[in-house]
Amino acid sequence: MKRVVITGAGTINALGHSVPETLEAMREGRCGIGPLEFRDVDRLAIKIGGQVRGFEAEGRFNRQQMVLYDRFTQFTLTAAREAIGQSGLEFSGELAARSGVVLGTAGGGVSTWDDNYRVVYEDGKNRVHPFVVPKLMNNAAASHVSMEWNLKGPSFTVATACASSNHAMAQAFQMVRSGMSPAMITGGSESMLCFGGVKAWEGLRVMSKDVCRPFSANRNGMVQGEGAGVFVFEEFEHARARGAEILAEIVGFAMTSDAADIVMPSKQGAARAMAGALADAGVNQDEVGYINAHGTGTAANDKTECAAVADVFGPHADRLMISSTKSMHGHLIGGTGAVELLACIMALRDGVVAPTIGYEEPDPECALDVVPNEAREARVDVALSNAFAFGGMNAVLALRGI
């Protein structure tokens, strides 16, 4: 089996338009959640979100591209440009033929669906733009990345709701580790912050109207975010031979299914995924210094996740740090694991653990070190990134500093 390292990272989300901006915001415990701004927001009960601000398609993309790219694709391409640029890889010949793109998204081009349903239902028009389908399809972002950077190997899109990007990255990791591909572009994106996208979530009655406070006793729900995170996963010897800067090593993963309930999380499913990732990585429990939690800020997730961590780590659960950066950037649904992987890289590489902000009251059911409100300096050797989706589909990645 090959070793797999990360040689490029890119993002755009409510905390910043790049990795350095995002990490700075995480270090400072800044909140990117605020009042939503889009059409008909006054008809929503939930009016807050982690919206990407100051992002203009004009200037980044030409006219033909703008007509063809949904916002989730625009986010993906922006993040991919940063990641691939950092890696220094140029794809041609054999490298291009064997390298591909695996991305996660839950909804794909949600605002394209939303806009065009308006056109035909609300405005009563009987004609839509010819590019509606190629714009909204879930694989549009992965396809455009493949075209932009000449990636001709295995490429596809994974949809497992809130675990989509972790499942995608686990898959890309497998492909590089097995020797199938020398490098893979992976991560995920989501852009559901439009009227229909937020209205759908409102129906479940699990959203907070004011703030996302994971693990806090007075938490009252999740807050949606949007954006993308994209990484270059590269075979270690390939990266070393060309003198690439290595951000971290991916050492293991596991995927499990609860096979239980369509929305309620399961402690066993989450625990099996974390334990599986440790076993796959050949890592002992006590080597793990940081877990980037799924930490949605709902009553159900946070207590279940903490109980699962306690089960897997035993006494070491009280010594490790676990934080939810969703308190800052919101829940990016299918793109969330990708943005959250940045917090793992920061912990391993910079020795800075991102905080759980908005934390006010300890909850006896979440009695772990959740790094409340302020980032912390600490040496972290191994980090886990958790994602537990609706539908009971879980994916956990294990990373090691290098």
Extract the tokens encoding 378.
Answer: 């600490």
167 a catalytic residue:
no
In the DSSP assignment, the letter for residue 119 is I
Cβ distance to another protein smaller for residue 10 or 214: 214
Cβ distance to another protein smaller for residue 22 or 298: 298
Helix (H, G, I), strand (E, B) or coil at 89: coil
Chain centre distance of CA 310: 24
Contact with another protein (CB under 8 A) among 219, 267, 272, 329: 219
Q: Alpha-carbon distance 309 to 254, whole Å?
A: 15
Which value, to the nearest 10 degrees, does the dihedral of the CA atoms of residues 234, 236, 239, 240 take?
A: 170
316 a catalytic residue:
no
Cβ distance to another protein smaller for residue 21 or 202: 202
Interaction mask 92-131, another protein, x per CB under 8 A:
----------------------------------------
String of DSSP letters for 233-283: EEEHHHHHHTT----EEEEEEEEEE--S-SSS--HHHHHHHHHHHHHHHT-
The reply to whether 259 sits near another protein by the rule CB under 8 A is no
Cβ distance to another protein smaller for residue 90 or 261: 261
Contact with another protein (CB under 8 A) among 65, 174, 220, 373: 220
The reply to whether 206 sits near another protein by the rule CB under 8 A is yes
Contact 395, 166 (CB under 8 A): yes
CA end-to-end distance (rounded Å), the chain:
18
Contact with another protein (CB under 8 A) among 68, 137, 180, 299: 299
Which one of the spans 132-140, 159-167, 255-263, 267-275 is the region binding another protein (CB under 8 A)? 255-263
Instruction: Compute the residue count for the chain.
Output: 402
Cβ distance to another protein smaller for residue 25 or 270: 270
The catalytically annotated residue of 294, 306, 344, 366 is 294
Contact 38, 27 (CB under 8 A): no
Contact 384, 398 (CB under 8 A): yes
Residue 335: CB minimum distance to another protein, A: 23
Residue 261: CB minimum distance to another protein, A: 8
The catalytically annotated residue of 17, 144, 162, 167 is 162
H or E element, residue 396:
strand 393-400
Q: Alpha-carbon distance 160 to 158, whole Å?
A: 6
162 a catalytic residue:
yes
Interaction mask 260-279, another protein, x per CB under 8 A:
-xxxx---------------
Cβ distance to another protein smaller for residue 61 or 390: 390
Residue type, 10: G
Binding residues among 45-64 for another protein as defined by CB under 8 A? 45
The catalytically annotated residue of 17, 144, 167, 331 is 331
Contact 13, 32 (CB under 8 A): yes
The reply to whether 189 sits near another protein by the rule CB under 8 A is no
Q: Alpha-carbon distance 70 to 14, whole Å?
A: 18
Residue 221: CB minimum distance to another protein, A: 5
β-pairing, 34-35 vs 100-104, is unpaired
Give the footprint of another protein on this chain (CB under 8 A): 45, 203-209, 219-221, 261-264, 298-300
Q: Which residues are catalytic?
A: 162, 294, 331
